[in-house]
Each structure stands twice: as C-alpha cells, then as structure tokens.
Amino acid sequence: MTRLLSLLVLCALTLGAAELKIPIEKYKLKNGLTVLLSQDNAVPVVAVYVLYGVGARSEEKGRSGFAHLFEHMMFQGSANAPKGVHFQTVEANGGNLNGSTHPDYTDYYETLPSNKLAVALWLESDRMRSLAITEENLANQKEAVKQERRLNFDNQPYVTAIVDVFPTLMFQNWANNHSLIGSFEDLNAATVGDVSKFFKTHYAPNNAILTIVGDINKPEAKKWIEQYFGDIPSQSQPPKPNLSEPAVFKAQTTIHKDQHAPVPAIVMGYPGPKRATPDFYALTMADIILTGGESSRLHQALVKEKKSVLSVEAGLGWPFGGPIDYQDPGIYGVQVTASPAVPSNEIVAQYEAEIEKLRQAPVTAAELDRARAILRSYRIRSLQSPLSRAQMITQHEYFDGSAERVNTELDKFLAVTPAQVQAAVKKYLPAEQRSVLEVVPAPKAQPKKEAK
C-alpha cells in the first residue's frame, strides 16, 4: 500500500461522514415547486439547478426520444428570451449552462457569479412558463437530435450496442428497455400538439425541483424565486410510469456486430437491488473493490496480469448513471474492452473466476478500507463544487424524498462489512443472472449507390 493510499484510508477511518453538515433549507411554493437552498459563501459563485420528474422511462410507445427531444426544445427560446438569448445571457455574464436527459429525470443548470443569480432564475422561470413551441423550432430540433444520434451514437464504437441493444437484454418492460435517444421514426412522427402536451404535463412547477447552491443571500433569493416562479400555474401531477419487471429474470447472450469497434468488447449485466437498501450499499462497495482504480481486483487480474482486457468499467446504474441517481429496477452493468487475441468466452471465464473469489471468501479489512477511502474522497470532492452539490442534494430529494440524506448516506456505505459485501455478491452477481452482449468488430458497410 502506498503512503498516499495509507493516508487516504486513515482519513476515511478517522473522519466519519457524520461530520458532513451541508446546510439545506427546503420549502414549497403554492404552485407545488419544491425549492432547495444551500448557502456556502466561500467563493462568489452560485449554481442554479432545475430537475423535472420526466425521463426516458416516462415516455409512451410511439413517442420514444421525447424526453431527449424536449431537452433540446428547452433551449429554443421563450416569450421573453427568444432563441439564443438564454445562452448569450449566461455566457455574457461569465457563466455556463447545459441540460441532460436521464432514464428517470431531465435536468438543467446554470453556474454564474453570485451577483447574477436573478438572471438565471428569470431565464429558468421564463422557459418553464412560456416555452416557444413552434413548427419551426420543432423541425430544427428533430434534425438536431437526428444529427446528434448520427455523430455521437451511430458513428461511435460500442455506443449503439450499449444504448439500444443492452437494455433489451436486461429488461422486458418497454418503459425500461427502449432507447434513451429514441428512434428516427418516432421523432419524425412528433407534432407540435404532442410536444405541447408533453410540456404541459411534465414541465409544470409541481413536477420540478429548483435548487440553488453557493454564495446566496437567502431572503433575497426567496424574494426572486417567488417573483419569477410563484405565479406559474401548476398542472395535474403526471402518473408515475409502470416500471415493473417479471419476477424471474431471463438471462440472455447475444452478439452485436459493430463496424466502428476497433477491438471487441463484452458488456455484462445483472438485475440490481432496490435503492437505499443494505444490499444497495454493499454492492456499491463490492463494485469499488472490483473496478475502483488500478488497484482494483479486475484491473489487476485482467488488465495487468492476464492482459486479456484493455479496460474495465462498471457500476450500479451503468451505463446511464451511478449510485446517486440509481432507481430500481436497475442494472449492475460491466463493460470490458477486450484484447482481440483472447476469445470472448475465455475473458468471461476469467471475469467469473474473480467474481467467484468474492463469493467464496470475505474481502480483507485493508481492501474494504481502501474502498471506503475511495468512496469518501469522491463524495467529499463532489460536494465542494456548487453544481455537484446541487445535483447530489436534488437527486436525494427526488429519489429518496430527503435532500438531507446527503449528510448521512455516506455513513451507510462506510458501515458495510466484509460479510455484507460477500453476501451481496452471492445474491446479485450469480452467473445464471448475467446477460452478456458481445460486441465484435465488423467490416465497414459499403456506401449505397444512389439510384440513377
């Protein structure tokens, strides 16, 4: 063990998560908007983060990709901030912004100098109130999403296999197994009426959480929140999607030919535990032991020693998230980028041998201490950034109903014992519950000849 790792372990053991005291104030506006405030005046920066309770798993058949399409639509202008003004205003005031689509939610953020907080709040409220949903905006964003799919999905190695194929091996319910980005057919079929209905249903204040973290004056922030958001009308609360899966998981194995893949890859998945249960915490610690850095078991065994694998990544919620935004039914997913010289069945056997070691014998105290140090270091560093803190406390509020869990959940991870790790691996990582997607390089498709 290196001196640095020894110090990290010592830090993890002597400084418990109980020392976390992230200040959080929560309240609701009359229209149902949940507000979270976390004041930290260390630096003159503020993060504004808005989460809407709609993601890819909220979509209806024939409307796949709507959550992602709508993420694009949210930057197409509103009644008082025409197209381009949102970006221009934030960037002109020294800030940055973005949005992202997830299986269970869609989020947007701005980080700005703290004296520009009102700017971000006005911009977010204006598009929540009066998004510009027009034929022109819809048409150009359909094309933008298609182009994004071509460039970032269909023309990238492994991505189509992971995003489109892998979920179909892990889930039987369409809500869970369809593509996060959607199909061209469904995008083409979308109408202004469809998009307007989606906006009214899901982008209402009572289906959103507004979080502000950083250098704020709370009375002043509350005044602006009420001024900009208070009179936006609420809507009927959208029903939660039915995400239920059959009680018995049917493991599958399939091959996907990928013309962009330079080397083979193997993607494996297991049904995961329920969120915030002892098994959830134990399997997260098991994952760090298996894949957390170059000292992890799989990296040492498969990358360093056997040289059968070039890289390994895994986690609860992989490939679309991690433990912080994991929602059951969820996946423990693994991807190994393979050496072309080693047959895939041999790599799977080597991987399985490492899992079997965890099943057969508890991890050592030193190894678990290393995992604790890694997790604690990551969590503490994440909380130092206003934006990361905003994301973390908001996701705890959304998934757990308690933003304050950010101050206590780390203790639950650090309390996991070697016996609990072993039990979780036995329960959740048996070979018979493992689906396998083998991605193999394929010859590049010949360009089609145009008809004369």
Is 390 a member of any domain? yes
Is 246 a member of any domain? no
Q: Is 293 found in the same domain as 214?
A: no
Q: Is 93 found in the same domain as 192?
A: yes
Q: Report pLDDT for 13.
A: 36
Is 8 a member of any domain? no
Q: Which CA distances in Å does 133 have to 46, 88, 116, 206, 265?
A: 29, 20, 27, 21, 41
For residues 345 and 452, the model is more confident at 345
Q: Is 209 found in the same domain as 268?
A: no
The CATH number that applies at residue 342 is 3.30.830.10
Q: Is 365 found in the same domain as 225?
A: no
Is 284 a member of any domain? yes
Is 447 a member of any domain? no
Q: Cα separation of 188 and 62, whole Å?
A: 10
Q: Is 195 found in the same domain as 94?
A: yes
Is pLDDT of 10 > 70?
no
Phi, psi of 64 (to 5 degrees): -65, 145
Is pLDDT of 2 > 80?
no
Q: Is 131 found in the same domain as 263?
A: no
Q: Is 263 found in the same domain as 204?
A: no
Is 451 a member of any domain? no
Is 164 a member of any domain? yes
Q: What is the pTM of this model?
A: 0.93
Alpha helices by DSSP H, 150-243: 159-160, 166-170, 174-177, 184-189, 192-202, 218-229
Q: Is 169 found in the same domain as 259?
A: no
Phi, psi of 213 (to 5 degrees): -130, 135
Number of domains the chain contains = 2
Q: Where are the beta strands (DSSP E) in 132-218?
A: 208-214
Q: Is 282 found in the same domain as 366?
A: yes
Span 98-103, average pLDDT: 97
Rounded percentage of the chain residues whose pLDDT exceeds 90: 91
Least confident of 12-16, 250-254, 322-326: 12-16
Q: How many CA atoms lie within 13 A of 186 on its CB side?
A: 19
Q: Which domain holds residue 60?
A: 23-229
Taking Cα atoms as reference points, which of 305, 304, 308, 325 lies closest to residue 316? 325
Amino acid of residue 259: Q
Q: CB of 170 within 8 A of CB of 137? A: no
